[in-house]
Amino acid sequence: MKKISFYAMLVVMLVMLAACGQASDTNDSETASGTTETTPAASEQPAETDTTETDTTETDSSEGETRTVTYLGEEYTLPANVEKIVVTGAMEAMEDALVLDVPLTGAIEVGGEFPERYASITEGATSIGAKQEPNFETILSLKPDVILGTTKFKPEVVEQLKKIAPLIQVSHISTDWEANLNLMGELSGKQDEAAKVIEDYKAEAEAAKAELGTKLEGKNVMAIRIRGGEMYVYPQDVFFNPVLYTDLGLTVPDAVAAAKAQELITVEQFAEINPDYVFLQFADAENADKLTALEDIQNNPIIQKTNAFKDGHVYTNIIDPLSEGGPAWSRTNFLTAAVAELKK
């Protein structure tokens, strides 16, 4: 009996050991299965995605990047991509933008609106005030990449503008017209177009000078601007004067040679100068309180006795009367129109 009991117990123990072995195999199988299931999930995680996005953002973004632009011997640090240009005070820059078809973010108004001839570059622009009255708050709100001001601005205005964005003061001197146009070309990426305009103008001026020959030798030719009902002449490097006296080689009148800035001349002084040819510029916006000034001058008996008026050599507003005279737009258009009259 004892032997039978012993064998019975032995059988039971063997059965139990076999069962434990099967359970262990089952657990191992489940564990292996779990690892197999989780491995694909881990491989689906984009472990390098965040790093790639950061690298792309840093590579593509130009925020904070700058470049240096040199203008008339001065260096200016500007954003690498200049997209928002605001012009205040510098009608020269307005004309250059027109020549190169550069859209402006902010521009100068005249008489409460943008002049019609600037429509193509001011379609999406915001008015930042009149020529000598910049609206600092408006300019600030536009967040410009660069502000093109004028060398005529007072120091306090310059300091205010510099606090808003990089400021370049564009020269109002006519002989700086090439530098001015090249600056606009540099800012807008239209350097080649600017170079072509300059090249074409010089070629046209040479041809015009040759065509006129000695026809005007010894003749007194003047450009006069009427402002506030009065007549003004300018130094030989301002207004249309460089076209007449440098590019066409005409004789510089004494009154022009003596002028240090915009100089008023009276009727009596005009009669004493006695010019042979006169180009008059008259804009309503510059004579708002004296809109009859042009007629008054033309009908003045003293002025009518001068050579230019007697011989019919007086030409009024042969180009837009709001033209500055020196910049590329004024220069090219005035040259063509003036030569057409002078060679008759």
Which residue from 342, 39, 339, 52 is spatially nearest to 208, judged by alpha carbons? Answer: 339
How far apart, in Å, are the Cα atoms of 54 and each of 60, 63, 80, 326, 330? 10, 14, 21, 50, 50
d(CA 250, CA 252): 6
Q: In this predicted structure, what is the pLDDT of residue 64?
A: 81
d(CA 145, CA 276): 48
Q: In this predicted structure, what is the pLDDT of residue 263?
A: 96
Give pTM, 2 decimals.
0.79
d(CA 187, CA 102): 9
pLDDT less than 50: residues of the chain: 1-62
Which residue from 219, 222, 217 is spatially nearest to 233, judged by alpha carbons? Answer: 222
Which residue from 98, 37, 73 is spatially nearest to 328, judged by alpha carbons? Answer: 98
**Tokens of residue 200, six digits:** 């074409």
3-class DSSP assignment, residue 8: helix
Phi, psi of 222 (to 5 degrees): -135, 150
**Tokens of residue 170, six digits:** 């564009």
Give the position of tokens 């059965």. 15
